[in-house]
């Protein structure tokens, strides 16, 4: 897999980018929305959050939710600074834009059960953990609302028919409530292709060119 990746990089001349000085950002395009968000807190703050999180309600994230969280933490979902609130969610469904007017195609939400929804409060904090209980981030709760799955399915997928895989997932794998708010990231959970390739995130280790196939 690593050899295949490196071959692909050479074909696209991406090795020229990888060989640049890490501090040289001249070759990068401007981030969507004008701001590239890094939601990871400092090491000192992370330690503080780990201690405080013992008192917070916890949500054990699914693999899919961890994927969304990682993209929030590393700036992949910039300019989002957390999971969407109801206002942004509805604006995206109706206008394909965030409430501030920035183009955004689909909602980025954190679904929770009714039991969890009753245990948290707007203005409070929630610990977001992986399946083994490790703290990944803290969510500052700004909004909690019941999902209108039929409306969301029609707006996002153009149908409410379960034969569509996205609609099926929404109706059968997504829980009934959403919670939104800003994220304070504690650590990355390395998943999917990054794990397979052994690539470490640039902010947590050697530069990318030293992390792929040892080049």
Domains and CATH numbers, the chain: 32-205 (3.10.400.10)
The answer, as to whether pTM is greater than 0.85, is: no
Cα separation values, 82 from 79, 107, 182, Å: 9, 12, 4
Q: What is the DSSP letter of 171?
A: H
* Residues 6+ positions from 160 with CB-CB distance below 8 Å: 150, 153, 154, 167
Residues 154-213 have pLDDT tens digits of 999 999 999 999 999 999 999 999 999 999 999 877 654 455 455 554 444 443 333 333
- Compute the C-alpha angle 88/133/197, nearest 5°: 80
pLDDT class of 11 with cuts at 50, 70, 90: low
Q: Which of 151, 124, 152 is nearest to 53 (CA)?
A: 124
Distance of alpha carbon 187 from alpha carbon 70, whole angstroms? 9
pLDDT class of 16 with cuts at 50, 70, 90: low
Looking at residue 109, its pLDDT comes to 98
Looking at residue 33, its pLDDT comes to 80
The predicted model gives 118-122 an average pLDDT of: 96
End-to-end CA distance of the chain: 15
pLDDT class of 25 with cuts at 50, 70, 90: low
Q: Which of 181, 171, 169 is nearest to 151 (CA)?
A: 171
Q: Is the pLDDT of residue 104 over 60?
A: yes
The distance from CA 127 to its chain's CA centroid, rounded to whole angstroms, is 15
Residues 28-38 have pLDDT tens digits of 778 888 888 88
Query: Strands, DSSP E only, in 79-147?
Result: 82-83, 110-112, 125-129, 135-146
Packing angle of the helix pair 149-157, 165-173 (nearest 10 deg): 160
Residues 43-79 have pLDDT tens digits of 999 999 999 999 999 999 998 999 999 999 989 999 9
Q: What percent of the chain has pLDDT over 70?
A: 75
Looking at residue 19, its pLDDT comes to 54
Looking at residue 145, its pLDDT comes to 98
């Amino acid at each position: 897999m690593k050899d295949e990746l490196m071959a692909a990089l050479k074909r696209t001349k991406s090795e020229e980018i990888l060989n640049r000085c890490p501090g040289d950002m001249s070759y990068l395009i401007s981030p969507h929305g004008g701001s590239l968000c890094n939601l990871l807190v400092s090491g000192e703050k992370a330690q503080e959050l780990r201690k405080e999180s013992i008192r917070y309600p916890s949500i054990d994230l699914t693999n899919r939710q961890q994927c969304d969280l990682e993209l929030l933490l590393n700036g992949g979902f910039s300019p989002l600074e957390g999971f969407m609130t109801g206002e942004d969610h509805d604006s995206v469904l109706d206008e394909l834009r965030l409430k501030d007017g920035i183009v955004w195609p689909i909602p980025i939400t954190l679904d929770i059960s009714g039991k969890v929804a009753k245990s948290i409060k707007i203005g409070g904090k929630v610990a977001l953990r992986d399946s083994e209980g490790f703290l990944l981030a803290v969510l500052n709760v700004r909004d909690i609302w019941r999902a209108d799955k039929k409306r969301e399915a029609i707006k996002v997928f153009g149908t409410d028919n379960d034969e569509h895989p996205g609609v099926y997932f929404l109706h059968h794998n997504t829980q009934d409530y959403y919670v939104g708010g800003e994220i304070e990231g504690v650590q990355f959970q390395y998943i999917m292709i990054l794990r397979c390739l052994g690539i470490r995130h640039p902010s947590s280790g050697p530069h990318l060119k030293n992390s792929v196939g040892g080049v």
